[in-house]
Amino acid sequence: MFNKIIAAREFFNQGEAQLANADYIGAIESYTSAIELNPAQPKVFNNRGNAKKNIGDIAGAIEDYTRQIEISPQYTAPYINRALWQTELGNFQLAIEDCNVVLDLETDNMKLAMTYQVLARAKYKVGDYLGAIDAYTKIIELAPSEEDTEEAYECRAEVYRALGDHEQAIQDYNAIIKMSAKNGRAYACRGETKYEMGNLREAAADITRAISLDLVGAEGASYVTLAKIKEELGDVKGAIKILDSAVKFYNRMEIYHNRGYLKSNYLKDFSEAVVDFTKSLEIEPNAASYDGRGAARFMLGDYAGAVEDFTHCIEMDESTDAESYRRRGRARQALGDFRGAQQDFQTAEELERN
C-alpha cells in the first residue's frame, strides 16, 4: 500500500511537469495512472481536469472537477475551475452556485478576486446587473494595486451603461484615465457613453483623443461613432472625411455602410454609394446595406438591381417594416411588374395596420 502511494505521487509529479510543458495528453495519462493507484491523492482530479480542458474536453474537465469536489469539498480550486467552464457553456446559475461556495470557503485575496471575476460575468449574463456591479466592486477592493483595477473598472462601467446609469459609467472611465492617461479604449468608451447621453461635442473630443492614441478598440468602431456625431452636428463632409481615414486602416462592414449612407442620403452621389454598399456586403452580407444599395440603384434607374436588393433585405430581416415592401413595390412598378408592385403595396399596408 505504501509503495502504491509513493508510485502515485511519482505519476502525479510527472503529470505536473507535463502539464507545465503543455504536454496535455501525457499529463492526462500520468494523472490517470496516479488516480488508479491512489484516487484520494490531493489535487489529482482537479489537475487532470485542467489538462483535459486544454485539449478541449470540457465535459471531461467538469467531470474531474466534480469528482475532486466530492473527494475534497473544502478545496476551492475545482469549484473555481468548474464555475469558469460552466460559464463558458452558458450554465450561469450553476457557475453562480460554485462561486458562492468559494466565497464561503476562501480567504486568499487572489483566489477571491478570480472568483468574483467569474461571478460578475455570470451575474451579468443572467441579468443581475446589480449583482455584477457588486462583484466588480469587490475585485477593485481586493486588487493589490491601482494598476490591477483597470479591467474591473471597465467591466463595471459597461454594466452601468447596460443599466442606463451613464454618470456612474463615466466615473469609472475617469478612474481608468486618471491611472493611465494614454488608455485610448477608456477615452473611446467614455466618448461613446457621452454620445449615448446626447453630449455630442464632449463625445467627439473623447473619441478624437482615442483615435489620436491609435487605440480605438473594436477595429475602428470609434471612427464610425465619430462620423455619426459629425453627421448629427451637421458636418456631413467631416463625417465622410472621418470614414475616409478609417478605410485606410480597417476593413469593416459598418465603415463602408455608413459612408455609403452619407453619400446617398446627403451628397446624392448614388454611384459612389453603390460602390460602398457593395464593399460592405462583400465583407458581411447585411439587410441595411442591401436596403441602402437598393435605394441608390433605384435612383440610378437600375430597377432590376433595386428589386433584387430589396428582396435580399426583406429575406434577411424578419422585422422588415412596411417601407421596405413599398420601396420594392415602386421598383417593380418602374419595371412594369404591376401585379408584383400591387402585392408589395398591399403587404406594406397590412404591416402598417398591424
Asked whether residue 89 is domain-assigned, the answer is no
Residue 15 clears pLDDT 60, i.e. is over it? yes
Comparing 93-102, 129-138, 311-320, 322-331, the range with the smallest average pLDDT is: 311-320
DSSP-derived secondary structure for 121-162:
HHHHHTT-HHHHHHHHHHHHHH-SSGGGGHHHHHHHHHHHHH
Count of residues in the chain:
354
Tell me the percentage of the chain whose pLDDT exceeds 70. 98
Residue 218 clears pLDDT 60, i.e. is over it? no
What integer pLDDT is reported at residue 146 of this predicted model?
A: 87
Asked whether residue 12 is domain-assigned, the answer is no
- Region 234-263: mean pLDDT is 95
Asked whether residue 117 is domain-assigned, the answer is no
The pLDDT mean for the chain works out to 94
What integer pLDDT is reported at residue 1 of this predicted model?
A: 54
Residue 219 clears pLDDT 90, i.e. is over it? no
Asked whether residue 349 is domain-assigned, the answer is yes
Give the domain range for residue 320.
Answer: 252-354
Q: What are phi and psi of 223, to 5 degrees?
A: -60, -40
Condensed to tens digits (0 to 9), the pLDDT of residues 33-52 reads: 999 999 988 999 999 999 99
Contact 260, 289 (CB under 8 A): yes
Asked whether residue 130 is domain-assigned, the answer is no
Condensed to tens digits (0 to 9), the pLDDT of residues 121-168 reads: 999 999 999 999 999 999 999 999 988 999 999 999 999 999 999 999
Contact 160, 170 (CB under 8 A): no
How far, CA to CA in Å, does 25 sit from each of 30, 56, 339?
A: 9, 11, 66
What integer pLDDT is reported at residue 217 of this predicted model?
A: 52
How many domains in the chain? 1
DSSP state of 253: H
For residue 3, give the H/E element and its range.
Answer: helix 2-20
Asked whether residue 260 is domain-assigned, the answer is yes
Asked whether residue 310 is domain-assigned, the answer is yes
**Structure confidence at residue 225 as a pLDDT band (50, 70, 90):** very high
C-alpha span between 220 and 209 (Å, rounded): 13
C-alpha span between 194 and 188 (Å, rounded): 10
Contact 85, 61 (CB under 8 A): yes
What integer pLDDT is reported at residue 2 of this predicted model?
A: 58
Asked whether residue 261 is domain-assigned, the answer is yes
How far, CA to CA in Å, does 177 sit from each of 137, 148, 331?
A: 18, 14, 52
C-alpha span between 309 and 297 (Å, rounded): 9
**Structure confidence at residue 354 as a pLDDT band (50, 70, 90):** confident
What integer pLDDT is reported at residue 321 of this predicted model?
A: 82
C-alpha span between 332 and 279 (Å, rounded): 25
C-alpha span between 217 and 185 (Å, rounded): 6
Tell me, what CATH number does 268's domain have? 1.25.40.10
